[in-house]
Amino acid sequence: MKIIILDGYTLKPGDLSWKGFHDLGQCAVYERTNPAQTYERAKDADVLITNKVVLDANLMEQLPKLKYVGVLATGYNVVDVEAAKKRGISVTNIPAYSTDSVAQIVFAFILNFSQQVMLHSQEVKKGMWENWQDFSFTLTPQTELAGKTLGIVGFGKIGQKIAHIANAFNMDVLFYNPSKREGWDNRARQVGLEELFVGSDYVSINCPLTNDNLGFVNTKLLQLMKPTAYLINTGRGPLVNEQDLADFLNQGKIAGAGLDVLSTEPPKPNNPLLKAKNCYITPHIAWATFEARQRAMEIATNNLKSFIDCKPQNLVG
C-alpha cells in the first residue's frame, strides 16, 4: 500500500514521528505540496493524507488507485466528499483532538484583555517601574473575570469546555446553539443569538462554518455589543465580516478582538484587521500544542489502521 502525506509540516514540525504510517505501508512524506505538484505526487497513491492540500473531484478522477483520504484536521472542506463517495473513496477526519488547546487560547485572549500582562512586563523592562513614584502602576484597567458574562456561540465539545473554564472563574455563561443543550442548569444559559451579543462582556465564536452562517458576525450583531465588550474567534475566519469588525474596532464601538483565524490564511496584506485598533491576531495556533498534535497523529494513524482492518472509524460524508 502506497501512502502519500502531502503536507505534513504543520502537524510535525520536527517533534513527532510518522513511524505509525511507515509501519502500515510504503510511505512518503512531503512537508508541503503546492497545487502544481499535487497530481504528480498523488498519482500512484492508494492513500492520501492531507491537512490543507485541496483534493477536488477533478483530481480524484485522475487517481484510479486512490482508496482512502485521511484529513489531518477536524474540518474536511478541503476534500470533495461527495465526489469521493461516488468513487468509493473513504474519507476520515480527526474529531475532538484539540478541545482543551482551543479552550485554553480563548482564555489566553480573555486574560490578555483583562490585565494586559505582556504590556506591563514590557514597560517594567523599559524602566517605567523603577522610575515610578509609587510601589505600583497600571497602564490599562485591571478587571476581574468573576461576575463578567461570557457568551459562547456554538456549544459543542469546545464550547462546553470553555464554559467549564468560565465557571471556574465564576463567570456567568450564555450560549447560543441551534439545537437544545440540556444539563447545564445555572452554570450556562441557552439564549438567542441577539440576546447573547447584547448581554456578554466577552463573545467567543466556536461554531462550525456552513453556507448559512458565512459572515454572520457583521454590523447587525456587532452593533448590539457593549462598547466595553470583546470578540474572540477561534472557529473559522469567514464566520466574521472582517471589514465590519475592523470598522467597529477603529471607531471604538467595541473594546477589542482576539482572533486565531482569518478569512484567508495566511492573510493578504490588505486585510483590514491587520491594522485595526485593539485587535490581537495569532497565526491559527489554537490547535498546535504538542499534546494536541500528538493526539492528532495517533488518531490519524489509527484511522488508517482501522480502514485497513475493514473497521473504519471517523468517516465523514
Distance between CA atoms of residues 316 and 92, nearest Å: 6
Residue of 82, 236, 291, 298 marked active site: 236
Distance between CA 30 and CA 147 in Å, rounded?
Answer: 49
Catalytic entry in 41, 189, 284, 298: 284
Note every long-range contact of 111-114, with CB atoms under 8 Å and residues 24 or more positions apart, other chains counting. 111/145, 112/258, 112/280, 113/202, 113/230, 113/255, 113/256, 113/258, 114/142, 114/143, 114/144, 114/145
Distance (Å, whole) CA 248 – CA 279: 11
Cα(246)–Cα(241) distance, integer angstroms:
9
Is 242 an annotated catalytic residue? no
**Cα angle, residue 27 at apex, residues 24 and 32 outer, rounded to 5°:** 135
In the set 82, 144, 265, 291, the catalytic residue is 265
DSSP state letters, 241-254:
-HHHHHHHHHTTSS
The C-alpha atoms of residue 75 and residue 243 are separated, in whole angstroms, by 25
d(CA 153, CA 176): 5
* Residue 236 falls in the annotated catalytic set: yes
Q: Quick check: 48 and 68 in contact, CB under 8 A?
A: yes
Distance CA 313, CA 306 (A): 6
Instruction: Tell me, yes or no, if 40 is annotated catalytic.
Output: no
Question: How far is the C-alpha of 29 from the C-alpha of 290, rounded, in Å?
Answer: 20
Beta strands across the sheet bearing 26-29 = 26-29, 2-5, 47-50, 68-71, 90-92
Report, as residue numbers or ranges, the catalytic residues: 236, 265, 284
